[in-house]
Structure formats: C-alpha cells, structure tokens
Chain A
C-alpha cells in the first residue's frame, strides 16, 4: 500500500537535546511538508520541499531543520533552540501540482521535559 510512514509514534526527550523525526513516503510524490499541530489551533507549516535537495522555510521554521537528500525521505530535526517543542508533528506529501490533495502520515507526538 502506498502511503507516508512517520516514526516513532511517540518520542520523549529532555530539554536541550536535539531530536530527529522520520518521514518516508512511497507515493512517488515530489513535494513534502512538515506541520506542527497544537490543541485548538490549525496546522502550522514548518518546512516544505518541492524537489530533492531543495527546501523552504514555512511560517514557524525557527528551531527546526530539515534535509531532502532522497525523494522519499524528509526528516525533521527539532533543535534545542526551539522554545516550545512539545507538540504533534505531521508529515505530508503531494504530487506538487496546484490542485493535488495533501496526503498525511499518522504523526509523531513529541514530549520534551
């Protein structure tokens, strides 16, 4: 089955540590996205990539970094510079055309204490 796999499902880290969230897709999609979801708020865009080896900052990129070395993979690193990292993180992909729907993974819930 084609889809997006995010791992792990739950992640716990101590404050001051960097952590990397995995996102892999086998949909052959060019575009990939990272969103953050907080209770009572809409999804907010962290980073996106429309092609391999290229990515752009979204609305809340501070404290995060990404790479896109392979078409199917778009890992997100939450650095110690992110002030409030505890959240639900969602990875998504699309074929990159204007009217293509977004496909989402099942998310990673990160808790930093």
Chain B
C-alpha cells in the first residue's frame, strides 16, 4: 500500500483480556518495527522483524507480549492478560531494509485498558 496501515485505530479492552494489533507495512519493505509511545514520551522500541523472523525482540517488556510476521508482510502484535499499564499508543514502522534509513510510521493503535 501507499503507507503503513494499522488497525484498529483505537481499542478499549478490559484488564485481563487478550488483544491483537495489526500492522500492514509498505509493500516491499523487509524491515518492520513495533514501538510503544506513552504521552509526552518518545517511541519505545519493542520488536523488529527482518523478513519473517524477529531480528531483535529485546524491547518486549515481558512474556505477555508476542509478535508475528508469518509471510514477511503483515505483522500482528499480541498482548495477553492486559494490564492498565499497557495503555499506550502502539506504533508500527517499516523501512526498505536494514540500517538507520528513514522509517515510515503508521498512525498507531491507541490501546486503553480499563
């Protein structure tokens, strides 16, 4: 597609529930990144895919968080047993390859855990 698409744009869920957040990157971009952003803060790295594999998942806060990219394009971030502290905007970005070249971000999913 023309840009990075994230769905849903907003998600409200109850504490303890499971959620899935979807990211559709720019066609042909091999690198895909998930970040989390709290109000007034910079994006915080979660996980990075190169193709289908997770090249770096060091930013995932705990084992409740998991992400997949089975065919090397669309990715899903999965959060189990959500907690109120998980509330944030979850941003997805893609880039043509490895390296610090410009990332294209999606508009994010605002997750609210009540």
Partners in one complex: no
Chain B interface residues (CB < 8 Å from chain A): none
